[in-house]
Amino acid sequence: MKKSLLCLVGSVLLLCSCGKRVETYSSSIPNVQQKVDEFISVKLTADLSHLSENDKKMIPILFEIGKIMDDLYWKQAWGDKDALFSAINDEALKQYVHINYGPWERLNDNKSFIQGIGAKPAGANFYPADMKKEEFNTLEDELKNDLYTIVQREEETGALKVLPYHEVYKAELTKVSELLKKAAGLSDDAGFKDYLLKRSEALLTGDYYASDLAWMSMKSNAIDFVVGPIETYEDALFGAKAAFESFILIKDKEWSDKLAHFASLLPTLQASLPVEDKYKLEVPGSDSDLGAYEVIFYGGDCNAGSKTIAINLPNDPRVHIEKGSRKLQLKNSMKAKFDKILIPISQLLIDDEQQKNVTFDAFFENTMFHEVAHGLGIKNTLNGSGTVREVLKETASAIEEGKADILGLYMVDMLTGMNELGDDQVLMDNYVTFMAGLFRSIRFGASSSHGKANMIRFNYFKEKQAFTKNEETGKYKVDFEKMRQAMIDLSNEILIIQGEGDYAKAKSMIKEKGFIQSELQADLDRIEKAGIPRDIVFKQGLEYLEL
C-alpha cells in the first residue's frame, strides 16, 4: 500500500493508509475561529440566461470534473484528505484546514497550525517528504523533471521512482476524460468542443500541447473551462510539478469586446509612449487575446491561498511562440475583492474627499490595462546585447511588472486623450484607485516582483509629491497634476532602463525604492488592526446558479 505524506509526518497521531492508531488532531494556535473569520465568504454566481440549453446541461458535468480536480489537488498538496478531516472534531479547525487545503497557513508563510504536524515539506506530496535535493539529483530518470510526474519510494528498496500522473491518478483521470467527452458532445461551439476532446486525451497521456493550442484557438464559446495540472507554485522544492486545478468561466461579452478594442489600439498607444522614438521601435501585436469573465467555480490549486483575479495561460513556451497566450480577467471575483477589501482599506487610508474616486470600473481598468501594457515598450535591448529579460537578469520581472503597472495607468491617460474612455474624471478615479490598490497589494509584504514594483512606484510618487499624507487623519491625498507628471517621468525612466538593458540602474532602483518604509508599515498595521479581511473564500455550487 502506498505511503501517504500524512503517514510520514503524523504517524503516531492518526490512522492512515499504513494502519497506525487514531487520535484527534487539535489546533496549535489560540483562536482558529478568528483566523477563519479573516476570510470573507462570497457567493460565486453569474447570469446564465443567454446560454443555450446544451450549454446549461454541460455545466453540471463541468462541476463534477472540477470537484475531481479539487480532490486530486488535495492529494498533491497533502495526501489523504478524508483521514485528516476524520481526525478533527473542532468545526472551526476543519474550516481552516479546508481554506488552506491542509494544516499549514498559506497566507502566513505556510506555518503549521495543528499540533504534532511539523513544517510543510517544500516539495508538498510530489516527492517523498524525507527526500533531499542531493538524492533527487542522483536519480537517473528522464521524466524526473517532467511537469506531470511524481516521485515516490519503492516499497521494498526505498529507492526513488518516477511515476506519471496518468498512472498514479488513473482512476480519477479516466473518469475526467470520459466526462470531458460527454461535455464535448453537448457543445454547440466547434472550437470549445475540439478543446474539450483534446483535453480529454491529454489527461490520459500527459501530453497537453495539442489541447493548449486548441484552447488558444477558441473564439466564440460562451463557457470556458480551465482544467488540468497547470501551475507549479505548490512544488516549492523544484517548481517542477504541476498542480491540478479548474476554473469554470462564463464570458462577459460586452467587456471582452471592449478589451479587444483596446488591444487593437496597442500600435497607436506604443507610438505615443513618453520616451524617445528609439525606445519604441518594436511594433506590438494588436491581437492580444484578452477577455472578461465571471467565474462560477474555483477548484484545487487556484482555490488555495490567495484567490487569483486574472489568468494568463497556457504556460507552455512552445505555445507562446506559436500562438501567444490568453489573458482572462475574472470580473466577479475582482468585484468581491474590491467591495470587501479595497473599499474598507480606502475608508481607512484615502482622503475623505477622494473616496468617491475609488471605483470598481477604475479598479477593473487598472488590472486589465496592466495586462495590456505588458505588450508595450520593447522586448530587445537597443545595443543588441539580448532580450530585456536576459540582460536585466533577476531584476527583470520586478522592472517588467513596474512597467506594466505604470504604462497601464499611462494608457488610461492616452485613451481619455483619444476620447476612448471618458474624461479627466475617469483619469482621477484611476489615480486614486491605483493608490488605494497599492495598499491592498503590499499589505502582506513586498518581497515578490509585483511587491517590489509597487514599492518602487509608491516611493517614487512620494518623492515627486504625487500624494501627500495628512498627519492628523493619516489619510493619503492624490495631487492630480503632480501624479500625472510623476507617472510620465516614471514611465520614461523604466522604458529607458529596459531599452538600454541597464542592469546597474535596475538594481539600484530596486535597492533604493523597492522596500516598505517604516511609516508605511505603520499604515499597513492599521489595516490589520481594523480587521479588514485578508482574502475571500467562495461559496460555490450548482445551488447558486439558475440553470
Q: Which residues bind Zn ion (CB under 5 A)?
A: 401, 404
- When the beta carbons of 150 and 404 are compared against Zn ion, the nearer one is 404
Nearest distance from C-beta of residue 246 to Zn ion, angstroms: 23
Burial class (CB in 10 A: 0-12, 13-18, 19+), 125: buried
Evaluate whether 159 touches 177 at the Cβ level (below 8 Å). no
How far apart are CB 358 and Zn ion at their closest, in Å? 22
Coil, helix or strand for 19? coil
Q: Mutual orientation of helices 396-417 and 424-441 as an angle, nearest 10°?
A: 160
**Residue entry with cell 460562451:** 222
Closest CB 350 distance from Zn ion, rounded Å: 24
Residue nearer to Zn ion on the CB measure, 336 or 373: 373
Contact predicate 476/469, CB 8 Å: yes
Q: Which is nearer to Zn ion, 186 or 404 (CB)?
A: 404
Which residue's Cβ lies closest to Zn ion?
404
Nearer to Zn ion, 301 or 401 (CB): 401
Q: Is 471 helix (H, G, I), strand (E, B) or coil?
A: coil
CB 544 within 8 A of CB 43: yes
Helix runs in 5-141, H state only:
5-9, 32-37, 53-77, 81-86, 91-100, 133-138
Choice between 88 and 404, CB closer to Zn ion: 404
* 340 DSSP assignment: I
Dig out the grid coordinates for 55 from the structure.
450549454
Pairing of strands 149-153, 160-164: antiparallel
Instruction: Note whether 226 and 315 are within 8 A (CB).
Output: no
* 171-209 burial: b if 16+ Cβ within 10 Å, else e: ebbeebbebbebbbebbebebbbbbbbbbbebbeebebe
State in angstroms the smallest separation of the CB of 152 from Zn ion. Answer: 36
- Shortest Cβ 514–Zn ion spacing (Å): 16
Looking at the Cβ atoms of 183 and 259, the one nearer to Zn ion is 259
Q: What SS3 class is residue 218?
A: coil
221 vs 329, beta carbon nearer Zn ion: 329
Relative to beta strand 310-313, strand 289-300 is unpaired
Cα–Cα distance measured from residue 432 to residue 369, given in angstroms and rounded to the nearest whole number? 16
Nearest-approach distance from CB 372 to Zn ion, in angstroms: 10
- Cβ-based nearer residue to Zn ion, 370 or 534: 370
Residue 14 C-beta: closest distance to Zn ion, Å = 42
- If the CB atoms of residues 81 and 331 are measured against Zn ion, the closer one turns out to be 331
Distance between CA atoms of residues 250 and 226, nearest Å: 11
CB of residue 313 to Zn ion, shortest distance in Å: 14
Instruction: Give the ranges where 338-423 is alpha helix by DSSP (H).
Output: 343-349, 360-373, 388-391, 396-417
Grid cell of 260 as nine digits = 479587444
Residue 200 vs 366, nearer CB to Zn ion: 366
At what angle are helices 503-513 and 396-417 packed, to 10 degrees? 80
According to DSSP, residue 121 is labeled P
What is the smallest separation between the CB atom of 374 and Zn ion, expressed in angstroms? Answer: 6
Asked whether the beta carbons of 41 and 539 are under 8 A apart, the reply is: yes
Q: Peptide bond before 274: cis, by omega within 30 degrees of 0?
A: no
Closest distance of CB 373 from Zn ion, Å: 8
Q: What cell numbers appear for 323 in the block?
A: 500562438
Closer by beta carbon to Zn ion, 75 or else 370:
370
Q: How far is the CB of 404 from Zn ion (least distance, A)?
A: 5
Nearest distance in Å: CB 290, Zn ion: 13
Is residue 55 within 8 A of residue 40, CB to CB? The reply is no
Least CB distance from residue 400 to Zn ion, whole Å?
7
Distance CA 110, CA 118 (A): 11
Closest listed residue to residue 103, CA positions, set 92, 118, 91, 123: 118
In the complex with Zn ion, the residue whose CB is nearer, 41 or 441, is: 441
Q: Which residues pair with 25 in a beta bridge?
A: 88
Comparing CB distances to Zn ion, the nearer of 371 and 500 is 371
